[in-house]
Amino acid sequence: MYCTLDQLIAQFTLLELQQRAGVDPGTGELNEAPVLTAIAAASRQIDGYLRTVYPLPLSDGVIAESALPEMCGHIARSILYQNIENEPVTMRYKDAVQWLRDVQAKKITLGPTDTTVAVTGTMAVRAVSSNFDWNKF
């Protein structure tokens, strides 16, 4: 999965998640099952975009250094709002999907450790001999 429950709480607040997923009547704690289901569904949706460009699963380092946890959060949040119209949630979802399309189209990379995207272009290298005496070192 591309984000954790704790990351989602940090991104959107515990109160908002409780309002969307409910509270366990026995403990008064967040009902985690719908939230984890939404994270899993969001991660599967992300995999659909990434699988054409990257070998999956991605390493934890690539995920952590990328915007994937945040984008997964936006998608998971929109799943939790499934039948409730909320313009900011819809806008963030559309932004996340557009970001994924840009990654898929190789317009952007996942981050500094992303070594799977080929660099295009050419470089000319010319070998020359040196008159320097390297044996003195």
The 10s digit of each residue's pLDDT in 71-128 is 999 999 999 999 899 999 999 999 999 999 999 999 999 987 665 544 444 455 555 5
Task: Give the pLDDT band of residue 131 (cuts 50, 70, 90).
Answer: low
Is the per-residue pLDDT at 136 higher than 80? no
The string of pLDDT tens digits covering residues 3-43 is 999 999 999 999 999 999 999 989 999 999 999 999 999 99
Top-confidence residue, 54 or 123:
54
pTM: 0.81
Distance CA 55, CA 112 (A): 17
Domain ranges of the chain: 5-136
HEC string for the chain: CCCCHHHHHHHHCHHHHHHHHCECCCCCCECHHHHHHHHHHHHHHHHHHHCCCCCCCCCHHHHHHCCHHHHHHHHHHHHHCCCCCCHHHHHHHHHHHHHHHHHHCCCCCCCCCCCCCCCCCCCCCCCCCCCCCHHHC
Is the per-residue pLDDT at 129 higher than 70? no
